[in-house]
Amino acid sequence: MADIDLVKYGVLWQKVESMEAKIDKLEANMTELLALANKSRGGLWIGMAFVSAASTVAGYFTHFWQK
């Protein structure tokens, strides 16, 4: 035990604790980002359905008026 410098060990211990706090914050942010990505995925599909329906209606009327 005489080979271990207690001051350096204390500094190392503090760095590990601060890194644990940063990792906890990072995990919380990642969870939030994942939730936002899941929300936007639904919006993307609704947007694609709306554009598809609008282009179908426009194509129908264009085809109808050309005859």
Tell me the pLDDT tens digit for each residue of 15-48: 999 999 999 999 999 999 998 888 777 777 888 8
| pLDDT score for 23 | 96
| pLDDT score for 2 | 67
Q: How many residues does the chain have?
A: 67
Taking residues 38-66, report their average pLDDT: 86
Three-state secondary structure call for residue 67 = coil
SS percent in the chain: helix, strand, coil, step 5? 90, 0, 10
Here the tokens at position 20 are 């644990």
Which residue shows structure tokens 């271990």? Answer: 4
| pLDDT class of 12 with cuts at 50, 70, 90 | very high
